[in-house]
Structure 1
Amino acid sequence: MEQTLMLGVEGVRKTILHGGSSEMPRFITGTKVTFHFRTQLCDDERTVLDDSKKVGVPMEVVIGNMFKLEVWETLLTSMRIGEVAEFWCDVTHTGLYPMVAKSLRRIAEGKDPVDWHIHTCGMANMFAYHSLGYEDLDQLQKEPQPLYFVLELVKVEQPSEYDRESWALSDEERLKVVPLLHGQGNKLFKQGHYPQAANKYKEGIICIKNIQTKEKAWDPPWLKLEKMAHTLTLNYCQCLLRVEEYYEVIEHTTDIINQHPGVMKAYYLRAKAHMEVWNESEAQADFQKVLDLDPGMRKVVRREMQVLSMRMEEKREEEKLKYRGMF
């Protein structure tokens, strides 16, 4: 029989749909909780917005890790393993759901959930582009409303019972792990393992970006994190050059240059990428900017410009022969 319970939290009602089969789990900071969820509108049809079972992958959160939708921690810590419960949550608890749902959907689609190469926080991005990329979430963002969450608690693991990946770390732990990831990436790069090095750098960037979203843009703490992210992003771009992902290099370095036009290494890496995709004038302009920012790079730039000139001449000759054979 269904039973409606108050959780002692204003604006939350709980209805147990299926009782759990164990004692109440111990929920402490660092506990990892695995669960399925279904989110529904409070309309006559109970319209389903998201359903982890349809995706086929359960959700995981770490208690005390400042998950954006804080009410979910409250709901989950009221449950037993195996329990299925429906929670009605007032709009005061559901305002951030559209942004959380956007990240979850991007993960399900195999995309980067945090858009780490965009150097503004998630809230600023939303206002900049006026859309979350999903029509139903845009509508919910414009008109916040209460929601139903149907949760099924699958597993509870204490901090010592699982290997903690970077997403499961606290902000303090993330800051400590970034230099380790940086060092691991450097070692892999020197060994010629470029894809593996890129993954280490990217993991470090994601750690930094997760922390940075909680800081006010352009304040000193934010700028300090931004500088750390730039260093890792440029290392990441060096890996991309080695695996011939030239357009992605151009994208990331351009992003850095637009925000901070004095970063010489960004111009140098972008110039190298432009060389590889035959953008002669863009490469020349970037190499000139490298010289403007660091005259000590003159010998390196002169050598790169000579290579560029030779390659462009070879390309022009190849095109002449190609077109000559067509007529």
Structure 2
Amino acid sequence: MEETYLLSYPGVKKKILAGGKGPLPHFPPGTKVIFHFQTLLDNFERTVVDDSRLAGRPAEIFVGKMFKMEIWESLLTSMRVGEVAEFWCDAVHTGLYPIVSKGMRLIAQGKDPLEGQKHMCGMGNLFHYHSTGFPELDEIMRNPQPLIFIMELLQVGDPLSYHRESWMMEKDEKLQTVPVLHMQGNALVRQKQFREAASKYKEAVLLLKTVQSREMPGDVDYINLGRMIVPLELNYCQCMLELEEYYEVIEHTTELLEKHKCVKGYYKRAKAHAAVWNEKEARRDFSTVAQLDISLAALVRRELKELSERMKEKYWEEKEQYWNMLEKTEGASKQEEEEQQDEEEQKDEGAKKKESDIESGKAGEKTGSSEMRRVEEGESGAEEVRPSEGAKEEESSRAEELQACEEMEGKDWQQMLRLVMFLQNDGNFLIKEQRFPDASAKFKEALGYVDFLQNKVDQHGEDWESLEKVRLPLSLNLSQCMLELKQHQEVVELNSRLLKTHRNFKATYQRARAHAALCNEDEARRDFATVEKLDPNLKPFVQKELKILGENIRKMHAGQKKNYWETTKEKWGPVGSRTKDA
């Protein structure tokens, strides 16, 4: 066969070795071309560099999809099916061949051709690593030279004869494929094949995002594509909810809600948060749903009720679990202490036996003297002194305190801190249930442990300060319970002690409310003014409480049948100056 030049591509010679069949095929963009190739060096030996037949699988490319060796598309589109041709290509066209060859070799070995590469172009990776990993390819890279390609065209596939991946589609093709994928996903959902449906929705979303990435943000097309993504993302999240992939739902809905505020997005995220016990986040999203769509208020109430029930069950399960763990650790520690006591008792018994042998002679004298004492006591006729009832009560209270101290001493520092934490959680839960007497008992017990621990540490050390930080919320919660139980004088005393060491507006506010309930007008107004200075945002609440204070004082004066002038004289005195009592 004669050698012929491809006129449209200078530096290329073609030599037909075996003729093909039929006319020259049509190669529209996206055509799949399957072929075998052999690469030779342009030297006397015609050294073989690559051979696809030795790899055991033919090569394939897609026309018009930016293959790195652009000249190969031109060579193959000049051939018929079954044709074998030899092409001589100048070094101008073979500069990227080492990169292409390396990728094909790795694919033939079953490896990822992009493994170990950084995010940069292929040439950048080659310069970064200084080698392809194959000596013959490195030589071609160092010395660019002409190469000979012997190609056999095996098959030409129509663009519609195979499943095309997203990177092979044009913009119009992607937009036409999205509704098809959407319908397929809906059909799979009806069949309850949620995993397959999720893959369809995800593929459609990726196609739309690929198209959207080529649009200018803020343009009409960009916004319309974003709106098309929303229902597909929501359907995907619904499938993930059915598959119990809750964190996947939270991630996707959060990303979606940053751009599009939709009721369904908040609802699905709330369901996912509720499933993974994120109570605070779930309640926030459910309330947002009720605000955005009032017609869903009944549904939200039902979901919140169910969430509360599930949180109660979880709370009691965890409490039982951790309490059993504490009991086990306490039981183990008690067993060790009992074993140590038994060993010590055995040692003491051995020592006592030795002493008894030595002191056996003196035992008779001691017994005689004790008998003489008993006789003398009998002759004297002295009466026994019985303690009074008040002394008995004091002894019983002391015994209870000693018993409590013994129980506390039986536990170590960490066990007590865990108990404080459990008691605090119990009290918080009981407050939510509005069981204030039980809650106050829990907080008092926890404060007892804190007092016991503080008595064993230095008042100027870090442990004391840490325990004070633990004491503060316990005291505030106890004060809140006492307010609800209308134990106002105890609230005043508790918060007064607390405010000696902590400047806390909550303690001041609770003491002000207690003073207002006791009709201590001056103290209440002083504390409310302090609260308003500490936090100006509480001014509306302070004004409301002052209004209630004024009404309570008027009711008190009306009950005492005092008019305005009498109360003014009591407060300010007859001359107009404030009295000492006031």
- The TM-score, its normalising length taken from structure 1, stands at 0.64
Q: Relative to 1, partners in 2 of residues 1:264 and 1:33: Cα closer, same or farther, differing over 3 Å?
A: farther
SS at match of 2:186: helix
Q: Which amino acid aligns with 2:278?
A: N
Q: Contact 1:75 / 1:87 at 8 angstroms: preserved in 2?
A: no
Q: Relative to 1, partners in 2 of residues 1:19 and 1:205: Cα closer, same or farther, differing over 3 Å?
A: farther
Q: Which amino acid aligns with 2:158?
A: Q
Superposed counterparts of 1:188-227, under 5 Å? 188-227=188-227
Rounded to whole Å, the distance in 1 between the matches of 2:272 and 2:111 is: 28
In the alignment, structure 1 segments of 5+ residues that lack a partner are 38-52, 111-131
Rounded to whole Å, the distance in 1 between the matches of 2:317 and 2:90 is: 68
Alpha-carbon displacement from aligned partner over 1:186-208 (angstroms, at most 9, x marks no partner)? 22212322112212212222322
Rounded to whole Å, the distance in 2 between the matches of 1:199 and 1:183 is: 13
* Counterpart in the other structure of 1:294: 293
Q: Contact 2:35 / 2:58 at 8 angstroms: preserved in 1?
A: no
Q: Contact 1:166 / 1:207 at 8 angstroms: preserved in 2?
A: no
Q: Contact 1:34 / 1:58 at 8 angstroms: preserved in 2?
A: yes
- Point out 4+ residue stretches in structure 1 off by more than 4 angstroms: 5-10, 13-16, 18-25, 34-37, 56-60, 70-74, 80-90, 132-135, 139-145, 150-155
RMSD after superposition: 4.7
Residue 244 (structure 2) pairs with residue 244 (structure 1): yes
More strand, by proportion:
1
What percentage of residue pairs aligned between the two structures are identical?
A: 36
- The TM-score, its normalising length taken from structure 2, stands at 0.38
Q: Which amino acid aligns with 1:285?
A: R
* Counterpart in the other structure of 2:262: 263
Shift of 1:255: 1.1
Task: State which drifts further: 279-288 or 22-31.
Answer: 22-31
Rounded to whole Å, the distance in 2 between the matches of 1:60 and 1:204 is: 25
Rounded to whole Å, the distance in 2 between the matches of 1:217 and 1:86 is: 48
Q: Relative to 1, partners in 2 of residues 1:14 and 1:316: Cα closer, same or farther, differing over 3 Å?
A: farther
Rounded to whole Å, the distance in 2 between the matches of 1:15 and 1:57 is: 23
Shift of 1:236: 0.7
* Counterpart in the other structure of 1:31: 31
* Counterpart in the other structure of 2:316: 317
Q: Which amino acid aligns with 1:211?
A: V
In the alignment, structure 2 segments of 5+ residues that lack a partner are 38-53, 128-140, 329-582
Shift of 1:237: 0.8
SS at match of 2:75: coil
Q: Relative to 1, partners in 2 of residues 1:306 and 1:214: Cα closer, same or farther, differing over 3 Å?
A: same
Shift of 1:211: 2.2
Higher relative contact order (CA 8 A, sep 6+): 1
Q: Which amino acid aligns with 1:274?
A: H
Of 56, 61, 75, the residue aligned with 1:78 is 75
* Counterpart in the other structure of 1:45: none
Shift of 1:89: 9.7
* Counterpart in the other structure of 1:307: 306
Rounded to whole Å, the distance in 2 between the matches of 1:73 and 1:220 is: 36
Rounded to whole Å, the distance in 2 between the matches of 1:216 and 1:286 is: 32
The structure having more radius of gyration, on CA atoms, is 2
* Counterpart in the other structure of 1:229: 229
Alpha-carbon displacement from aligned partner over 1:201-239 (angstroms, at most 9, x marks no partner)? 122223222322332233211221121112111101100
Q: Which amino acid aligns with 1:176?
A: Q
Q: Contact 2:117 / 2:125 at 8 angstroms: preserved in 1?
A: no
Q: Contact 1:262 / 1:293 at 8 angstroms: preserved in 2?
A: no
Alpha-carbon displacement from aligned partner over 1:2-33 (angstroms, at most 9, x marks no partner)? x9x989579xx7799x9898576531234123
SS at match of 1:285: helix
Rounded to whole Å, the distance in 1 between the matches of 2:263 and 2:34 is: 45
* Counterpart in the other structure of 2:275: 276
Shift of 1:174: 2.4
Task: State which drifts further: 28-37 or 230-239.
Answer: 28-37
Task: State which drifts further: 209-218 or 313-322.
Answer: 209-218
Q: Contact 2:215 / 2:221 at 8 angstroms: preserved in 1?
A: yes
